[in-house]
Amino acid sequence: MADAQALLAALLSVPSEGRYPRLDLSPLRQKERTIEVVSQTLGRLAAMAPLLAVFEDVHWIDPSTLELVTHLVARIPE
Q: What is the CA radius of gyration of the chain?
A: 14
The SS3 of residue 32 is helix
State the pTM of this model.
Answer: 0.84
Total domains present in the chain: 1
| Most distant pair of Cα atoms in the chain: their distance | 39
- Residues of the chain with pLDDT > 70, as a percent, come to 96
Show the domain range for 8: 2-74
For residues 57-66, one letter each, b for 16 or more C-beta atoms within 10 angstroms of the residue's C-beta and e for the rest, the string is eeeeeeeeee
**What does the alpha-carbon distance between residue 57 and residue 28 come to, in Å, rounded to a whole number?**
25
Residue 48 has pLDDT above 80, yes or no: yes
